[in-house]
């Protein structure tokens, strides 16, 4: 055992391979992004994504091994791969490559849940990072991505209790849809965050869906409120509000983006900190693309500080989809003896905990 694991992630629109040591240290982390490919369509096209994975997976694998200085895969402890959730055709590309490598090089194959990966990104260290303590457990985890939004209690590695999740849109999905309404670039998240920073007027307030004391979230009402505001501003019917923001004054767009982001961040941060307090956890970790959002990080950081516990948020490149996080979670699974056979298949609707 030299503690090195190769990890493959192809669940959505990033083709990614990483090499990780001892579940923490990144030796190589290569991500081929398909964002430019899907941008003209305003969203991910599964068929296009699967073909792009097929085109890029071997060059990305080769580049990751080159950067890590690994030329013999027999020196690895294991090969980890995302088995779900995600797009079936995309998952299958990574799984087929991982299965083949495990078979050829006689290495253990470790299946990983994509969300478990997002949570474990908080454990990763970049090549030049100084050692730092691991997030103490139990921890409260918030995963906020384009496809999922949920709160989870991490009692231990591989021991999770799901506390609540979105009852309609995922937070990232809401960012992407509102980005389209406002006529901003795809993906909506970073574009809205950038527009919000430019807002000079900050008076508008959109409604928050608190759903009582529950740990669930809802963002569809907020999306409708933005649609109504865009339609009114542009003088068009609500049904024709798609991209109508493009006709609005950029100052108005910036204020709408800011008010929308405030509403999402307020609910996400308040519920996360409340759940952390309620369960008496020792740290908070964030994961998923929306965790790259600065306003969200700042709000949760303030709440964690008030509770006297650390907040660990990976750098933005480790919040969005990557394979390093799959290596971090895969290592814990490897140590726990989790293995898959050569029949490993994609599990598009896999859940992390019931």
Site residues (vs ligand KG4, CB under 6 A): 12, 145-147, 172, 175-176, 187-190, 193, 288-290, 292-293, 320-321
The edge-to-edge listing of strands for the beta sheet with 14-21 is 25-33, 14-21, 4-9, 78-84, 109-113
- Cβ contact 161:304 at 8 Å: no
The smaller minimum CB distance to ligand KG4, of residues 78 and 182, is found at 182
Helix axes 188-198, 294-307, angle to 10 degrees: 80
Of the candidates 113, 220, 203, 230, which has an alpha carbon nearest to the alpha carbon of residue 169?
Answer: 220
From the CB of 188, what's the least distance to ligand KG4, in Å? 5
From the CB of 70, what's the least distance to ligand KG4, in Å? 26
Strands 283-287 and 311-312, by their bridges, are parallel
Q: Considering the rule CB under 5 A, would residue 293 count as an interface residue with Zn ion?
A: no
- Cβ contact 109:78 at 8 Å: yes
Question: CA–CA distance from 19 to each of 81, 220, 313, 344 (Å)?
Answer: 12, 39, 21, 21
The smaller minimum CB distance to ligand KG4, of residues 37 and 335, is found at 37
Given ligand KG4, Zn ion, none, residue 187, with its beta carbon under 5 to 8 Å by kind, binds ligand KG4
Q: Considering the rule CB under 5 A, would residue 321 count as an interface residue with Zn ion?
A: yes
**CA angle 297–116–332, rounded 5-degree value:** 115
Q: Considering the rule CB under 5 A, would residue 145 count as an interface residue with Zn ion?
A: yes
The smaller minimum CB distance to ligand KG4, of residues 4 and 293, is found at 293
* Element at 125 (helix H, strand E): none
Q: By CB under 5 A, how many residues form the interface with Zn ion?
A: 2
Given ligand KG4, Zn ion, none, residue 34, with its beta carbon under 5 to 8 Å by kind, binds none
From the CB of 199, what's the least distance to ligand KG4, in Å? 15
From the CB of 190, what's the least distance to Zn ion, in Å? 15
The smaller minimum CB distance to ligand KG4, of residues 138 and 330, is found at 330
Cis peptide before 311 (omega within 30 of 0): no
From the CB of 290, what's the least distance to Zn ion, in Å? 10
The smaller minimum CB distance to ligand KG4, of residues 188 and 303, is found at 188
Only one of the segments 87-95, 137-145, 160-168, 227-235 lies at the binding site for Zn ion (rule: CB under 5 A); that segment is 137-145
Strands 139-144 and 283-287, by their bridges, are parallel
Question: CA–CA distance from 188 to each of 85, 91, 180, 208, 222 (Å)?
Answer: 22, 24, 7, 20, 15
The smaller minimum CB distance to Zn ion, of residues 145 and 272, is found at 145
From the CB of 145, what's the least distance to Zn ion, in Å? 4
User: In the bound complex, which residue of the shown chain has the CB atom lying closest to Zn ion?
Assistant: 145
Q: Considering the rule CB under 5 A, would residue 261 count as an interface residue with Zn ion?
A: no
Given Zn ion, ligand KG4, none, residue 327, with its beta carbon under 5 to 8 Å by kind, binds none
The smaller minimum CB distance to Zn ion, of residues 116 and 321, is found at 321
Given Zn ion, ligand KG4, none, residue 9, with its beta carbon under 5 to 8 Å by kind, binds none
From the CB of 306, what's the least distance to ligand KG4, in Å? 23
The smaller minimum CB distance to Zn ion, of residues 57 and 226, is found at 57
From the CB of 139, what's the least distance to ligand KG4, in Å? 19
- Cβ contact 304:269 at 8 Å: no
Distance of CA 218 to the CA centre of its chain: 18
From the CB of 49, what's the least distance to Zn ion, in Å? 13
Helix axes 220-234, 250-279, angle to 10 degrees: 170
Q: Considering the rule CB under 5 A, would residue 15 count as an interface residue with Zn ion?
A: no
Of the candidates 132, 1, 126, which has an alpha carbon nearest to the alpha carbon of residue 67?
Answer: 126
The edge-to-edge listing of strands for the beta sheet with 149-156 is 159-165, 149-156, 139-144, 283-287, 311-312
Instruction: Please give the residue ranges that form the binding site for Zn ion (CB under 5 A).
Output: 145, 321
């Amino acid at each position: 055992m030299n503690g090195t694991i190769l990890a493959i992630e192809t669940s959505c629109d990033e083709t990614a391979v990483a090499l990780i040591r001892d579940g923490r240290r990144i030796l190589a982390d290569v991500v081929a992004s398909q964002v430019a490919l899907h941008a003209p369509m305003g969203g991910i096209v599964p068929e296009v994504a699967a073909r792009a994975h097929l085109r890029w997976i071997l060059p990305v694998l080769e580049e990751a091994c080159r950067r890590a200085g690994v030329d013999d895969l027999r020196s690895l402890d294991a090969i980890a791969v995302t088995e779900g959730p995600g797009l079936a055709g995309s998952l299958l590309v990574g799984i087929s490559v991982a299965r083949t490598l495990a078979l050829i090089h006689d290495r253990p194959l470790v299946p990983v849940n994509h969300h478990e990966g997002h949570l474990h990104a908080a454990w990763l260290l970049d090549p030049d990072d100084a050692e730092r303590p691991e997030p103490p457990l139990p921890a409260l985890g918030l995963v906020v991505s384009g496809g999922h939004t949920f709160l989870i209690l991490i009692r231990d590695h591989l021991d999770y209790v799901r506390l609540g999740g979105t009852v309609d849109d995922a937070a990232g999905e809401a960012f992407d849809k509102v980005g389209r309404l406002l006529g901003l670039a795809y993906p909506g998240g970073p574009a809205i965050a950038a527009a919000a920073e430019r807002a000079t007027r900050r008076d508008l307030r959109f409604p928050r869906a608190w759903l009582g004391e529950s740990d669930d979230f809802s963002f569809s009402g907020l999306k409708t409120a933005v649609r109504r505001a865009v339609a009114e501003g542009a003088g068009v019917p609500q049904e024709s509000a798609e991209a109508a923001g493009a006709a609005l004054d950029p100052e108005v767009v910036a204020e709408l983006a800011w008010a929308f982001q405030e509403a999402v961040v307020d609910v996400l941060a308040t519920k996360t900190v409340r759940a952390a307090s309620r369960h008496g956890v020792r740290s908070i970790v964030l994961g998923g693309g929306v965790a790259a959002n600065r306003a969200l990080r700042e709000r949760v950081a303030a709440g964690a500080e008030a509770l006297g516990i650390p907040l660990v948020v990976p750098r933005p490149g480790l919040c969005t989809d990557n394979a390093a996080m799959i290596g971090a979670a895969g290592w814990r699974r490897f140590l726990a003896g989790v293995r898959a056979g050569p029949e490993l298949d994609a599990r598009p609707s896999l859940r992390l905990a019931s």
